[in-house]
Amino acid sequence: MEAALLKNIDNPNAADILEYKKIGGYKGLAKALEMEPQQIIDEVKRAGLRGRGGAGFPVAMKWTFASADPKFPKYLLCNADEGEPGTFKDRPLLEKNPHMLIEGMAISGHALKAEYGYIYLRGEYPAAKHILNKAIKQAYDNNLLGENILGKGITFHLAVHQGAGAYICGEETALIESLEGDKGQPRIKPPFPVNIGVFSKPTVVNNVETLSNLPYIMEIGGEAYAKIGTPDCPGPKIFCVSGHVEKPGVYELPMGTKLRDIIYTHCGGIKGGKKLKAVIPGGISTPVLPPDKIDCPMDFVNMPKHGSMLGSGAVIVMDESVCLVKVCHRALKFFEHESCGKCTPCREGTGWLRAILGRIEEGHGAEGDIDLLLSVAGNMMGKTFCPLGDGAACVVQNFIKHFRPEFEEHIKAKKCTVTG
């Protein structure tokens, strides 16, 4: 498959508007500006595009809700707060192909009749901030952003808003709070952002990769786009693979590519010919899989049938040398650190899970600790304000589900028997 999202990525000047135009850049926007907003939404519906941030929500449906709201102005927010551990798919798009995102946002802005857009960029990407600001300026200078875009009477303003190191701001209502100048704590839904979002106005929040698909959909049309990948989840997907593989990195492949093929065909298999022990397929919040469960098509619909989730498409591969109690403990340190503190099950639960896992890892685990972990996780699942708490509980439940003997061994031996 020819790369649509990562195209031109090896060109060192790819971020320049002239280079982007050379490969057909901004033709999708020109085409979109000839269309009525509803026609663009219909095209995206035909394409079957789903949000690439992790939830896989149908984009056209979200857009339709926001469009139907009579309040103006409307806002389009790009979620560039890529923070799910293991995920590094948006960074190349932001740093190498910023104009693809800007074009995608301008197209989406027209579809939504949104006059304002923000890119909520994580604080950990300082280079991307400079690159995006430069690209936005170029787009303004070329009348591709701002007022009366390409003389078609359409207005769309775009600016970068830099986050400051809070994973929770990847959750759309926390992102909105943060953009409004507050702590990034999620809001209760409903009302949904499509009706009452940033500055109390109808707001669509889409991921970087989602919005970067728009120029391609405009170029080839929704029908052709829908033929890529799987019928329920069409399109190209960027998978980012890290850990113990021969060739880690970002791979643009059709949605639904099997996890086994990603690891063994595209990434060259396990580093140094070692044995595979476990894979986290979609970022740290998604359920871990043992080696006999990796023949699953990587898309939003099929992964849950195989006991996990596509998440952000961040594949973390672990070989036999890895202690999974330690990985689980590290993951919970992360969730405890990133819990926003708003709701009790998450704030307290992540701390207790981390503490119990910590004592098991250090060799002070007690008999019954595994059941205690499951009890705490069970009291979090489905009871938290936002998915962060579910994610934390889910990690513990699935590590124990697939690798319980390793936890038991740790408690019995009072030390790690994997790494010594």
Partner 1 sequence: MFNETSIKEIEEIRTKYPNSRAALLPVLYVAQREFGWLSPEAYEAVADLLNVPKATARGVGTFYAMYKQKPMGRHLIQLCTNVSCMILGAEKLVDFLKSKYGIEPGGMSPDGRFSLVIMECIGACGTAPAMLVNDNFYENLDKKNLEEILGKYQ
Q: How far apart are CA 288 and CA 291, in angstroms?
A: 10
The backbone region for 40, taken as left when phi is positive above 0, alpha when psi lies in -120 to 50, beta otherwise, is alpha
Least CB distance from residue 128 to partner 1, whole Å? 9
Nearer to partner 1, 123 or 307 (CB): 123
When asked if residue 165 is in the footprint of partner 1 (CB under 8 A), the reply is: yes
Beta bridge partners, 252, equal 238
Strands 229-230 and 233-234 turn out to be antiparallel
CB distance 213 to 199 below 8 Å? no
When asked if residue 338 is in the footprint of partner 1 (CB under 8 A), the reply is: yes
Using CB under 8 A as the binding rule, the residues of this chain from 262 to 281 that contact partner 1 are 280
When asked if residue 313 is in the footprint of partner 1 (CB under 8 A), the reply is: no
- One symbol per residue from 132 to 161: x for binding partner 1 (CB under 8 A), - otherwise; what is it? ---------------------------x-x
Applying CB under 8 A, among 88, 156, 225, 399 the residue interacting with partner 1 is 88
**Short-list 293, 251, 242, 244, CA closest to 270:** 244
Least CB distance from residue 241 to partner 1, whole Å? 7
Applying CB under 8 A, among 39, 68, 126, 268 the residue interacting with partner 1 is 126
Applying CB under 8 A, among 15, 101, 259, 284 the residue interacting with partner 1 is 284
168-172 long-range Cβ contacts below 8 angstroms, 24+ apart: 168/338, 168/339, 168/340, 168/386, 168/388, 169/81, 169/83, 169/120, 169/122, 170/53, 170/79, 170/81, 170/82, 170/83, 170/84, 171/386, 171/387, 171/388, 172/77, 172/79, 172/205
Q: How far apart are CA 156 and CA 118, in angstroms?
A: 10
Q: Which one of the spans 98-106, 177-185, 219-227, 397-405 is the region binding partner 1 (CB under 8 A)?
A: 177-185
When asked if residue 370 is in the footprint of partner 1 (CB under 8 A), the reply is: no
Applying CB under 8 A, among 20, 63, 156, 167 the residue interacting with partner 1 is 167
**Short-list 382, 83, 31, CA closest to 214:** 31
Least CB distance from residue 31 to partner 1, whole Å? 29
When asked if residue 241 is in the footprint of partner 1 (CB under 8 A), the reply is: yes
Least CB distance from residue 86 to partner 1, whole Å? 5
When asked if residue 330 is in the footprint of partner 1 (CB under 8 A), the reply is: yes
Least CB distance from residue 124 to partner 1, whole Å? 5
Nearer to partner 1, 32 or 288 (CB): 288
Instruction: Count other C-beta atoms under 10 Å from residue 68's C-beta.
Output: 10
When asked if residue 318 is in the footprint of partner 1 (CB under 8 A), the reply is: yes
- One symbol per residue from 2 to 41: x for binding partner 1 (CB under 8 A), - otherwise; what is it? ----------------------------------------
DSSP conformation class of 115: E
**CA dihedral sign of residues 407, 411, 414, 417:** negative
When asked if residue 124 is in the footprint of partner 1 (CB under 8 A), the reply is: yes
Nearer to partner 1, 107 or 250 (CB): 250
When asked if residue 248 is in the footprint of partner 1 (CB under 8 A), the reply is: yes
**Short-list 252, 220, 301, CA closest to 44:** 220
Applying CB under 8 A, among 52, 91, 110, 410 the residue interacting with partner 1 is 91
Tokens of 41: 């939404």
The torsion angles phi and psi of 241, rounded to 5 degrees, stand at: -115, 130
Tokens of 297: 């098509």
When asked if residue 239 is in the footprint of partner 1 (CB under 8 A), the reply is: no
The three-state secondary structure class of 286 is coil
Amino acid at 16: D
Applying CB under 8 A, among 23, 242, 348, 383 the residue interacting with partner 1 is 242
Q: How far apart are CA 60 and CA 98, in angstroms?
A: 23
Applying CB under 8 A, among 162, 226, 348, 418 the residue interacting with partner 1 is 162
Interface residue list for partner 1 (CB under 8 A): 82-88, 90-91, 122-127, 159, 161-167, 178-184, 199, 240-244, 248-250, 280, 284, 314, 316, 318, 322, 326-327, 330-331, 334, 337-338, 340
